[in-house]
Structure 1
Amino acid sequence: MGKITFEEIFKENERRIHYHINRMNIRDPHSDFFQEGLCALWNAYDSYKPEKGTMGTYFNFMIRNRLIDLVRKETRVRKNDGETVSATSVLLTDGNHQKLGGLSASLPGKTQDIVLHDPTLWQKLKLNLTANQWTWVRCFIVEQMSISDIARQEKTTVDAVKGWARQTRRKLRDDRFRAKIGWEV
């Protein structure tokens, strides 16, 4: 008797992935979690040792833990995105502004002395980021577009845009980079 193929394993265990996604109340509109579960199933199939226990138990363990890891990662990314947006919005305004036809303008009064917009800083930032990283800053932070809208506009994948965001956030958190562009936060 030969080894069972992965295709057979997949047919028998596809519902197992869906079970764990549903059990953990994960919304998966783009099938990212299903794909992660599928990779976990493949890794479990590839590394399974019969003497260690039953195959089904091992599959459950691997799939569930990979989904938990992905949930934690997504939560961390969302938290970092929020912190980046908050820090960048401080650059744009001190809170005393109003929207006029899509442009920010300071409110009249004593706030006229406060610099609400520093084009030099934005220019330095643009010069020190890649084209894709700058696209993410402009679209996500300044224009407040969603990642999926940016991906559609730039004709790329959501994962690619998320990669630009990770690279940019890494740079923006680096003290040496911030000193290089003159951003003191």
Structure 2
Amino acid sequence: MYKPYDQLHNQFKPMIFHIIKKLDIHRNRQEFYQIGCIALWEASLRYEEDKGEFKSFAYSYIIGRMKTELSKERKLKEKLYRLASYSTQKGMTEDDYTLIVTRSVIDDLSTNLTPHQMKWIKAFCYQGKTPSEIAEDEGVSSSAVKGWRRDTLSKLRRLNRKDLL
């Protein structure tokens, strides 16, 4: 089944809004609408006619994506809530809390970054080191560290577009 995306979008726009309403999404409606549009496009690419009706496939694909995003948001909120509770119990300052959240976010990135990229991001974010200082510590050239930085930032931008942070 091949239709130009504009036609597909116009046809399934009410379905996307229906799913948003069904999942009781009130905040970030525009973000979830975009998730629905992307899911519709991906569903159109993955659809196989012999597997059933496209409408059913698209519905399950879109609602699945939105539920996945809701789950990610919930997990992040729970993690931040536990962290905030822990920090107030231990008498931590706001700077301590910010550092822990930053470290938590950076540690979560480790599955998406190479070991060299993680070395750069940790040295830069935790210790504020320059590429020259990192290069000296790691025994590599400064241009190699700048390459790690370039690749890391590029990858983070791509991941951010996909919804990592």
TM-score, with structure 2 as normaliser: 0.56
User: Alpha-carbon deviations, 1:144-167, whole Å to 9, x = none?
Assistant: xxxxxxxxxxxxxxxxxxx95851
User: Alpha-carbon deviations, 1:43-68, whole Å to 9, x = none?
Assistant: 10111111111110111110111111
Partner of 1:157: none
User: Alpha-carbon deviations, 1:14-40, whole Å to 9, x = none?
Assistant: 111100110121113451211111111
- Distance across 2 between alignment mates of 1:22 and 1:166: 33
Answer whether contact 1:48 1:55 (CA < 8 A) is retained.
yes
Partner of 1:70: 69
Residue identity matched to 1:73: K
Partner of 1:12: 11
- Distance across 2 between alignment mates of 1:58 and 1:64: 10
- Distance across 2 between alignment mates of 1:15 and 1:165: 41
Specify which structure has the higher proportion of helix.
2
Answer whether contact 2:36 2:62 (CA < 8 A) is retained.
yes
- Of the three residues 137, 149, 156, the one matched with 2:98 is 137
Answer whether contact 2:40 2:62 (CA < 8 A) is retained.
yes
> How many angstroms does 1:71 deviate by?
1.3
Aligned residues: 109
Partner of 1:178: none
Partner of 2:142: none
C-alpha change, 1:73 and 1:88, in structure 2 (3 Å) is same
Structure 2: where are the runs of 5+ without partners?
110-165
- Distance across 1 between alignment mates of 2:66 and 2:103: 22
Residue identity matched to 2:3: I
Answer whether contact 1:80 1:169 (CA < 8 A) is retained.
no
TM-score, with structure 1 as normaliser: 0.50
Spell out the pairing of 1:82-93 with structure 2 (5 A cutoff): 82-92=81-91
C-alpha change, 1:20 and 1:169, in structure 2 (3 Å) is same
1:167 and 2:105 aligned: yes
- Distance across 1 between alignment mates of 2:85 and 2:24: 29
> How many angstroms does 1:137 deviate by?
1.1
Answer whether contact 1:84 1:169 (CA < 8 A) is retained.
no
Partner of 1:57: 56
Structure 1: where are the runs of 5+ without partners?
94-116, 126-135, 142-162, 172-185
Specify which structure has the higher proportion of strand.
1
C-alpha change, 1:70 and 1:166, in structure 2 (3 Å) is farther
Larger radius of gyration: 1
Answer whether contact 1:28 1:34 (CA < 8 A) is retained.
no
Residue identity matched to 2:105: Q
SS in 1 for 2:90: helix
C-alpha change, 1:69 and 1:30, in structure 2 (3 Å) is same
